[in-house]
Amino acid sequence: MAIAAVIAAVILSLLLSPTTAEIKNLKITADARFMILLEKFGFTHTGHASIAVAGVSVTSTLAPPDLSRLGFFLLSEESLIQVLLELQQNPNICVLDSKYITSLFTFRDLSPSPHSSYNKSYTVTSPNEYLLFFSNCAPESQVSMNVHTELYNLDYGVKDFLSAGLTHLPTLFFLFSITYFAFLGFWIHICYTNKRSVYRIHLLMSVLILMKALNLICAAEDKHYVKVTGTPHGWDVLFYIFQFIRVVLLFTVIVLIGTGWSFLKPFLQEKEKKVLMIVIPLQVLANVASIVIGETGPFIKDWVTWNQVFLLVDIVCCCAIIFPIVWSIRSLRETSKTDGKAARNLAKLTLFRQFYIVVIGYLYFTRIVVFALKTIAAYKYLWVSNAAEEIASLAFYMVMFYMFRPVEKNEYFVLDEEEEEAAEMALREEEFEL
**Segment 109-128 mean pLDDT:** 87
**What's the CA dihedral at 418, 420, 422, 425 to 10 degrees?**
-160
Render pLDDT for 205-261 as a digit per residue (tens, 0 to 9): 999 999 999 999 999 999 999 999 998 888 988 998 999 899 889 988 988 888 877
Distance of CA 121 to the CA centre of its chain: 31
Render pLDDT for 285-322 as a digit per residue (tens, 0 to 9): 777 777 666 666 666 666 677 777 777 888 888 888 88
Q: Looking at residue 346, what is its pLDDT?
A: 67
Q: Looking at residue 125, what is its pLDDT?
A: 85
List where CATH 1.20.1070 sits in the chain.
169-429
Find out whether 163 and 19 touch, Cβ atoms under 8 Å: yes
The rounded distance, in Å, linking the Cα atoms of 24 and 52 is 11
Q: Looking at residue 338, what is its pLDDT?
A: 58
**Does the CA dihedral 239-243-244-249 come out positive or negative?**
positive
pLDDT at 3 over 70: no
Beta bridge partners of 148: 25, 52
Find the DSSP H helices in 110-234. 169-193, 200-229
Higher per-residue confidence, 426 vs 37: 37
Task: Tell me which amino acid residue 358 is.
Answer: V
**Segment 126-147 mean pLDDT:** 91
Render pLDDT for 10-36 as a digit per residue (tens, 0 to 9): 555 555 555 555 788 889 988 888 888
| 3-class secondary-structure state, position 132 | strand
Higher per-residue confidence, 377 vs 275: 377
The rounded distance, in Å, linking the Cα atoms of 326 and 378 is 39
Beta bridge partners of 149: 24, 51
**Radius of gyration of the chain from Cα atoms?**
27
List where CATH 2.60.120 sits in the chain.
2-160
Q: Looking at residue 300, what is its pLDDT?
A: 66
Find out whether 222 and 235 touch, Cβ atoms under 8 Å: yes
The rounded distance, in Å, linking the Cα atoms of 292 and 306 is 7
Contacts of 345 (CB under 8 A, 6+ apart): 332, 335, 336, 339, 423, 427
Q: Looking at residue 421, what is its pLDDT?
A: 53
Assigned CATH for 2-160:
2.60.120
Contacts of 322 (CB under 8 A, 6+ apart): 258, 356, 359, 360
Find out whether 216 and 237 touch, Cβ atoms under 8 Å: no
Distance of CA 54 to the CA centre of its chain: 32
Render pLDDT for 190-208 as a digit per residue (tens, 0 to 9): 999 998 888 889 999 999 9
**Does the CA dihedral 147-148-152-154 come out positive or negative?**
negative
Find out whether 146 and 55 touch, Cβ atoms under 8 Å: yes
Higher per-residue confidence, 332 vs 376: 376
Find out whether 106 and 67 touch, Cβ atoms under 8 Å: yes
**Segment 133-151 mean pLDDT:** 92
**Domain 169-429 architecture:** Up-down Bundle (1.20)
Helix axes 2-16, 303-320, angle to 10 degrees: 50
DSSP letters for 374-422: HHHS-GGGTHHHHHHHHHHHHHHHHHHHHHT---TT-TTS---GGGHHH
Task: Tell me which amino acid residue 145 is.
Answer: M
DSSP letters for 59-104: EESSSPP-GGGEEEEEEEHHHHHHHHHHHHH-TT--GGG-TTSEEE
**Segment 380-394 mean pLDDT:** 94
Contacts of 185 (CB under 8 A, 6+ apart): none
Higher per-residue confidence, 68 vs 88: 68
Q: Looking at residue 232, what is its pLDDT?
A: 87
Task: Tell me which amino acid residue 154 is.
Answer: L
Q: Model pTM?
A: 0.84
Find out whether 26 and 297 touch, Cβ atoms under 8 Å: yes
The rounded distance, in Å, linking the Cα atoms of 216 and 389 is 13
Percent of the chain with pLDDT over 90: 37
The rounded distance, in Å, linking the Cα atoms of 267 and 137 is 63
The rounded distance, in Å, linking the Cα atoms of 305 and 311 is 10
Average pLDDT, the chain: 82
pLDDT at 147 over 90: yes
pLDDT at 283 over 90: no
Nearest in space to 236 (alpha carbons), one of 245, 224, 249: 224
